[in-house]
Amino acid sequence: MVFGVRPGAATAGRSSGFRDVYAAIDLGTNNCRLLIARPSHEGFRVIDAFSRIVRLGEGLIGSGALSEPAMARALEALRICAGKVRRRRVTRLRAVATEACRRAGNRRAFQERVLRETGLDLEIIGVEEEVELALIGCAPLLSPQHPEALIFDIGGGSTEVAWLSQEGTEVRGRLGGRELRALAAVPVGVVTLAERYGRAAGDSEGFAAIVAEVMDALAPFRRQVALEPALAAGRVQMLGASGTVTTLVGVHLGLARYDRARVDGSFLDFATIRAVTQQLLALPMAARAASPCIGVERADLVIAGCAVLEAICRCWPVGQLRVADRGLREGILLSLMRPASEPRLRGLALPS
């Protein structure tokens, strides 16, 4: 049995009732995630979910290809997703892959293997569409009091930063009248940085080097958006949609186990971010692994993520960010459920 919805099918001919069951699969550089939901008057109601660290991009920088162990981990997770899709009688599904598959020379062979072994029709989407869908998923957390918004996602293989503005736009609906004005996708993520810097990321010099590297990578975008006057006027809000910021909230709150209800939509001020970062830097790897909101699989990644976050905070000193434990999967679901006539977010081409 073959699952999957290609883009043409995903934007036309939808049922307007609430009987359909929808699913979104996001296979990233580090994680494989699934959401299954039914439409509701408020958006959708989640009826099943799954998330597993697979490190699909492990070793990709050196080889240019997905390794056999990484593909095996991803396939195991995707089989679980496919089983849930069958059991929940999903009627509309979109399964997407992002940065690791975009970079991999053997991506087509991997897609064919996924289809053959799991029945999932895995689609590799571009950066612009990935960001658009993530923005749709995060939009409900944006405040109408701040007309300018910076949204970032620190991924396993890349970091995306988007500037949305309420001014001069004809787009309405899911983004609260905001238009995507600029977008940066820089090839630095927690997996790639952790592999490159190794244990050095955990000392002060290595951490500072990562911060400097990310700030340099973001410099062209920073010059492009020129948000300093808006920052000074208090017109800018910041929204972080990544495992780094959700982990920092969990550690800050001292959660005995991760609790999405307490994390999603919460706020972190920059002083707290830096205090928690220093707390994590002071811990040996084993102690970080023992933290219930980090675990063994993230212990070597969280410091690299903190360094990327520190760079973002230095570039745009908003002083506070809102935390989103949502993004691409939610955007896929909302995109599948929305009427075909609803306007899409207008995006900008990435600079070459």
Do 157 and 91 sit in the same domain of this protein? Answer: no
**pLDDT tens, 138-164?**
888 999 899 999 999 998 888 999 999
Final residue of a domain: which of 94, 125, 156?
A: 125
- For helices 243-253 and 270-281, the axis angle rounded to 10 degrees is 80
Q: Is the dihedral of CA 206, 208, 209, 210 positive or negative?
A: positive
- What confidence tier does 48 reach under pLDDT thresholds 50, 70, 90? very high
The answer as to whether 212 is a domain residue is yes
Domain match, 70 and 185 both: no
CB 30 within 8 A of CB 58: no
294 and 306 in contact (C-beta within 8 Å)? Answer: no
Q: DSSP per residue over 27-66, as a string?
A: E-SSEEEEEEEEEETTEEEEEEEEEEE--TTTTHHHHSS-
Both 73 and 218 in a single domain? Answer: no
Tell me 284's DSSP state.
-
Residue 348 belongs to a domain: no
The reply to whether 84 and 198 lie within a common domain is no
* Rounded average pLDDT over 44-58: 92
Q: In this structure, are 194 and 82 located in the same domain?
A: no
Q: Is residue 346 part of a domain?
A: no
Task: Identify the band that residue 62 occupies on the pLDDT scale cut at 50, 70 and 90.
Answer: confident
> Distance between terminal CA atoms of the chain?
40
Has residue 282 got a pLDDT over 60? yes
Residue 341 lies in a domain: no
- What CATH number should be reported for the domain holding residue 52? 3.30.420.40
Domains held by the chain: number: 2
| pLDDT at residue number 174 | 45
Residue 131 lies in a domain: no
Query: 251: alpha, beta or left, given left = phi > 0 and alpha = psi -120 to 50?
Result: alpha
From 91, 125, 159, give the residue that closes a domain.
125
Question: Phi and psi dihedrals of 219, rounded to 5?
Answer: -55, -45
HEC string of 68-97 equals: HHHHHHHHHHHHHHHHHHHHCCCCEEEEEE
Strands 236-240 and 43-53: unpaired
Answer whether residue 351 is part of any domain: no
pLDDT at 17: 52
Average model confidence (pLDDT) for the chain?
Answer: 86
Residue 186, H or E segment: strand 179-186
Distance between CA atoms of 54 and 76, rounded to whole angstroms? 9
- The pLDDT, as a whole number, for residue 80 is 97
Question: Considering the domain boundaries, does residue 350 fall inside one?
Answer: no
177 and 99 co-located in one domain: no
> Is residue 26 a contact partner of residue 32, using CB atoms and an 8 Å limit?
yes
User: Are both 97 and 193 inside the same structural domain?
Assistant: no
Identify which has the larger pLDDT, 167 or 172: 167
Looking at residue 233, which CATH number applies to its domain?
A: 3.30.420.150
In the predicted structure, residue 69 carries a pLDDT above the cut 80 = yes
Statement to judge: residues 73 and 157 lie in one domain: no
Residues 59 and 156 in one domain: no
Confidence of residue 255 (pLDDT cuts 50, 70, 90): very high
pTM for the full model? 0.79
Residues 82 and 208 in one domain: no
Tell me, yes or no, whether 165 and 195 share the same domain.
yes
The predicted-structure confidence for 12-43, as pLDDT tens digits, reads as follows 334 445 689 999 999 998 899 999 999 988 78
- Assign 158 to helix, strand or coil: coil
Q: What is the DSSP string of 113-151?
A: HHHHHH-B-EEE--HHHHHHHHHHHHGGG--TT-SEEEE
- Mean pLDDT for 174-179 is 63
Q: What is the average pLDDT across 316-321?
A: 97
Judge whether 135 lies within some domain: no
Q: In the prediction, which pLDDT does 198 show?
A: 87
| Residue range of the domain that includes 57 | 7-125
